[in-house]
Amino acid sequence: MSFLPKNTELIKQHKKLLLSLQNIDIGLFEIHSKKEPILTAMKSSKDKMMDIEDDSRRDNEEIAKTKIELERLREELVKFEKDKQVIEDNLLSASNSEEEEALKRDLDYCRLEIKLSIKKIRDVNNLHANLKRDIHKRDQDSKLQQEIFYDEHEKLQKLDEKISKEEESLQMERDELTKKLDPAILQEYEKISSCNMPFIAAGSIRDDVCTGCNILVTPIMQVQVHEAEDWVFCDHCGAFMLFVEKTKDKIERFPKG
Ligand SMILES: [Zn+2]
């Protein structure tokens, strides 16, 4: 790139800086990949805790409802008993057989109401007791579960804090490093980074191939990179070509000279 500064000393120095920058970016990328599942797990354990709280609230509302219904039925029963008493008193002082028949019918009806009322109270009472028993059992299970989720959440939180600190210090290191870089070169690096994966913006030629895209690099380019008089970029992936490296294997197989 013709617009990048090309002083030989500056190029040499910047190659090292770019490589360090890339190592930091790899570290940051790894931290992000570690953080993501932790945050997801944290959210899920929090959701589970909230579900348990919701269930417990609903159960208590249900219990409260049966209690109110029970009170209402008991009051109703007292009223029927009073009615019955009144009818029985009236029956004692009935003046003719017609009135007596009518009062007896009322009494039968009232007794039926009382029977029904007692049956209803028994049913609601049973329901109330069953609910209480179920809720008590569920509450015990929930408490245990809640403790497990709470512990899990706390562990994840600590892990997240630890990783966040690592991230922060790495980010600070990056900020310091980027201050040392020529702005045009940094901008170019960031541009390539955003197109490629972050760790192949600063590439090298290793055993004749680009470390960014694994495609063979021409011998002319290798010489250019080796002499380091100008910036060289991979024709395929656009990465900076910083160094020419030979691995041990290759050197043994293709000895120099
Ligand atoms: Zn490449």
Q: Is the per-residue pLDDT at 253 higher than 50? A: no
The C-alpha atoms of residue 230 and residue 208 are separated, in whole angstroms, by: 19
Coil, helix or strand for 240? Answer: strand
Q: How far is the centre of ligand 1, averaged over its atoms, from the C-alpha of 222 (Å)?
A: 13
Q: How far is the centre of ligand 1, averaged over its atoms, from the C-alpha of 146 (Å)?
A: 52
The pTM for the full model equals: 0.67
Q: How far is the centre of ligand 1, averaged over its atoms, from the C-alpha of 209 (Å)?
A: 8
Coil, helix or strand for 2? Answer: coil
Q: Is the per-residue pLDDT at 186 higher than 90? A: yes
Are residues 56 and 158 both part of a single domain? yes
DSSP notation for 4-62: S---HHHHHHHHHHHHHHHHHHHHHHHHHHHHHHHHHHHHHHHHHHHHHHHHHHHHHHH
| 250-256 mean pLDDT | 48
Q: Is the per-residue pLDDT at 2 higher than 80? A: no
- For residue 257, what pLDDT is reported? 39
Are residues 233 and 114 both part of a single domain? no
| 217-242 mean pLDDT | 90
Taking the alpha carbons of 94, 96, 97, 101 in that order, is the dihedral positive or negative?
negative
Q: How far is the centre of ligand 1, averaged over its atoms, from the C-alpha of 140 (Å)?
A: 61
Flag whether 242 is in a domain: yes
**Residues 11, 230 contacting (CB under 8 angstroms):** yes
Nearest 5°: the CA angle 214, 217, 222 is 130
Flag whether 222 is in a domain: yes
Q: How far is the centre of ligand 1, averaged over its atoms, from the C-alpha of 236 (Å)?
A: 5
What tokens does 163 get?
């990783």
Q: How far is the centre of ligand 1, averaged over its atoms, from the C-alpha of 237 (Å)?
A: 4
Q: How far is the centre of ligand 1, averaged over its atoms, from the C-alpha of 208 (Å)?
A: 11
Are residues 98 and 172 both part of a single domain? yes
The C-alpha atoms of residue 117 and residue 82 are separated, in whole angstroms, by: 14
- For residue 163, what pLDDT is reported? 96
Q: How far is the centre of ligand 1, averaged over its atoms, from the C-alpha of 239 (Å)?
A: 6
Percent of the chain having pLDDT more than 90? 65
Are residues 130 and 225 both part of a single domain? no
Closest CA to 17 of 227, 211, 242, 184: 242
Are residues 164 and 229 both part of a single domain? no
Q: How far is the centre of ligand 1, averaged over its atoms, from the C-alpha of 244 (Å)?
A: 13
Q: How far is the centre of ligand 1, averaged over its atoms, from the C-alpha of 203 (Å)?
A: 7
Nearest 5°: the CA angle 48, 52, 55 is 135
Q: How many domains does the chain have?
A: 2
Q: How far is the centre of ligand 1, averaged over its atoms, from the C-alpha of 196 (Å)?
A: 10
Three-state SS across 138-202?
A: HHHHHHHHHHHHHHHHHHHHHHHHHHHHHHHHHHHHHHHHHHHCCHHHHHHHHHHHHHCCHHHCE
Are residues 92 and 140 both part of a single domain? yes
Q: How far is the centre of ligand 1, averaged over its atoms, from the C-alpha of 238 (Å)?
A: 6
Q: What is the CATH number of the domain that holds 55?
A: 1.10.287.1700
Q: How far is the centre of ligand 1, averaged over its atoms, from the C-alpha of 253 (Å)?
A: 24
**Residues 221, 241 contacting (CB under 8 angstroms):** yes
Q: How far is the centre of ligand 1, averaged over its atoms, from the C-alpha of 128 (Å)?
A: 73
